[in-house]
Structure 1
Amino acid sequence: MKTWHVTGPGIESLRLAEVDVPIPGWGEVLVRVDAVSLNYRDQLLIANDGYARFGLPFTPCSDMAGSIEAVGQGVSRFAVGDRVINNFNGGWIDGNPPRRDGEIASFGGPLPGTLTEYMALPAEWLVKAPSSWSDAQASTLPCTGLTAWMSLIEIGRLMPGQTVVVQGTGGFSLFALELARRVGAEVIVTTTSATKAERAYALGATHVVDRNDGSKWAEQVKAITKGRGADHILEVAGGRNLESSVAALAPGGHISLVGVIESFDSTFPSVPAIHSFATIQAIYVGHRAGLERLVRAVDTCGLSPTIDSEFDFAEFPHALARLQQGPFGKVVVRR
């Protein structure tokens, strides 16, 4: 089978290799990988030689959708032909996340990545894909879909009539936009692109804040909400941007800290957070139980992801280049 390997830092280190198809052991299934969606994390690890600590060569990426090709002994959850997706955090079934050597066992590091034609995986790490979605659509759920679901629904307890701020127009933010609108919330999208602003409105955004505007985005959110602020803010940048998220928060509001696009360190003034009784909740995707509930919601409520572009398996470097350009929605690689 073919598999992509990272052999060092940077996109130029990528190699398309041939390896043996794995054989599923006890409790495992063989999955034919049909689609892989890309995340900012993949780009970050490739650019900064982040995979080196897991041992090179390393197969990148964390999200996939595929079908069961073979079933090992002891497996009762799936049968040959079932369409499945992986849970981003492999062995995390429910409750608090288990750790391996101080780290959560996530696909694409420290667990092997999904950018390969076949994978032998524990059946417990998989869930059935939404019956109403294509493989490309289903591949967007393990990381961005579940992160939005955990932030807004499982942990955030989003209610109709509340206000949500989503930052940017990547796959995570756009899925959160649709999910929040389905619940009945008002959604404010921040962006620097007039074209993307129009597309966000078309997807159901209540308001769009232009981050190129002279006023700070937190002030614009406060103006839109008549001084109250937003009930939920999905923080994808980190760094000093968290200070603006605190400033834009309503009393008793909730910030989901999910991204590090600006910086691995986040700073904010304590007093405004204290005065607003703010909750700042770190989110590292989620557990299998949450993913199963998300899949049921997808099939019941008619949710759909926004896919910016799709690339063939051999075109992974081009897909990665598109991700670096700042896509509107998800970038997917198909087998």
Structure 2
Amino acid sequence: MTPTYMRQWVLRGQGSFDCLRLEEAPIPEVGENDVLVKLHAVSLNYRDLMIATGTYYWPRSDPVVPVSDGAGEVISVGAKVSRFKPGQRAIPTFYQGFIGGALSAEVAVARSLGAVTNGVLREYAVFNEEGLVHAPSNLSYREAATLPCAALTAWNALYGPRPLRAGDTVLTQGTGGVSLFAVQLAAAAGAEVISTTSSSEKEERLRQLGAQQVINYKQDPNWGETAKKLSLGQAGANYVVEIGGPKTLVQSSKAAAIGGELSIIGNRSAEAGSKEIAAWSPHTAVHGTRRIAVGSRLEFEDMNRAIEVNKITPVIDARVFAFEEAVEAFQYLWDAKHFGKVVIQIV
């Protein structure tokens, strides 16, 4: 029997992780087009830290249930629901209501989970059936919970206007969630994968995931030029998954092939107004740039089929946090102690 109340983490205010409060709330009612999901696991993204610390560049509600990525079991469905049945495993989409086509500004601002719309750091949640996808059969709840933001962003970077083809060259940066998924997805598609990192330990992990070439960017400040030389025929990367931002854009430009695509995802390496921004100009680069904003439900379903067929397993950090340890999980990600996705187990 489904309880009438649940526990949930709520952000009240912003500025630190101490704004997270564990509270009790009634379980929302299920409408005729809705699905009640018992959440089993969630995973954290850097975006969740930004929302909690007040550095997120989009609006957010106050209070709000944080976190966009989770997975769970369907408990009950509304009278008009046709896509899901009780007992099935489901994953909420990052953008609720974004089925396919072009992403509208209204959906981008108001319908992303964990910001304006309540997220998944709770025991139960109700979603419109159109805002859910089926979890890949080869993944656990923990693994499935890592997919909505980081994995789909990587998929969008590789399968956007010009889909990745076998034999293409992909350059990834670092070992964050998007980058690790990009390595795995590109390798599964038969692409040449070149990755950058800062340690020999991480280098070996990247090779295990499918990177053929790994460059230590601390030892080689001209890693972009090196990546191009290492690429097939020294032609450069067809896709650069750009995570770092200002401090990496110049080298990313140098690594790109003529006609290559630089997917702008992150801005983790430097402050606005820095000399790195001034040094980089898209007018002098030989590639195109594209701003990535996660992806649609249809793209999510395409990615899940690829994950299932290729038996891709998301990389999860060795430490998995209990539901009551959510504040510690946020701090752990902030302190960059992880390799792979940071997961919170709910049940």
TM over 0.5: yes
Q: Deviations over 1:13-46 (max 9, x none)?
A: 2111111111112311111111111101001111
Structure 1 residue corresponding to 2:8, chosen from 3, 13, 38: 3
Contact kept, 8 Å, 1:129 with 1:138, in 2: the verdict is yes
Taking the TM superposition and a 5 Å limit, the aligned residue runs for 1:122-271 are 122-225=128-231, 227-262=234-269, 268-271=280-283
Displacement after TM superposition at 1:199 (Å):
1.3
Question: SS of the residue aligned with 2:164?
Answer: coil
Q: Deviations over 1:283-333 (max 9, x none)?
A: 100000011111111111111111113211111112112212332111111
Q: Within 2, Cα distance between the matches of 1:183 and 1:210?
A: 25
Q: How is 1:281-300 mapped onto 2 (pairs within 5 angstroms)?
A: 281-300=290-309
Match of 2:123 among 113, 117, 121: 117
User: TM-score, normalising length from structure 2?
Assistant: 0.90
Question: 2:56 & 2:150 partners in 1: Cα distance?
Answer: 20
- Identity percentage of aligned residues: 39
Shift of 1:261: 1.8
How far is 1:76 from its partner?
1.3
Paired residue for 1:313, among 309, 314, 323?
A: 323
Q: Does 1:25 align with 2:36?
A: no
One-letter amino acid of the structure 1 residue matched with residue 9 of structure 2: W
Counterpart Cα distance in 2 of 1:51 and 1:316: 23
Distance 1:129 1:157 in 2: 23
Unaligned runs of 5+ in 2: 1-5
SS of residue paired to 1:100: helix
Q: Partners of 2:221 and 2:244 in 1: how far apart?
A: 19
- Alpha-carbon distance in structure 1 between the residues aligned to 2:197 and 2:110: 32
Which has the higher mean CA deviation after the structures are superposed, 49-58 or 222-231? 49-58
CA distance in 2, matches of 1:165, 1:101: 30
| Conserved? CA contact 1:89–1:105, under 8 Å | yes
What is the aligned residue count?
Answer: 332
Structure 1 residues 64-83: aligned runs within 5 Å: 64-83=70-89
User: Partner of 1:256: helix, strand, or coil?
Assistant: strand
1:56 offset after TM fit, Å?
Answer: 2.0
Q: Distance in 2 between matches of 1:107 and 1:306?
A: 22
Closer, same or farther: CA 97–264 of 1 in aligned 2, 3 Å: farther
Amino acid at match of 1:237: G
Shift of 1:282: 1.0
Seen in structure 2, the aligned counterparts of structure 1 residues 281 and 271 have a Cα distance that, compared at 3 Å, is closer
TM-score (norm 1): 0.93
Contact in 1 for aligned 2:58/2:109 (Cα 8 Å): no
Match of 2:92 in 1: 86
Q: Which amino acid aligns with 2:155?
A: W
Structure 1 distance, partners of 2:271, 2:124, is: 33
Tell me which of 50, 67, 70 is aligned to 1:44.
Answer: 50
Q: Contact (CA 8 Å) 1:165, 1:187: kept in 2 or not? A: yes
Distance (Å, rounded) in 2 between the aligned partners of 1:152 and 1:112: 29
Contact 2:95–2:108 under 8 Å retained in 1: no
- Quick one: distance in 1 between partners of 2:208 and 2:147? 22
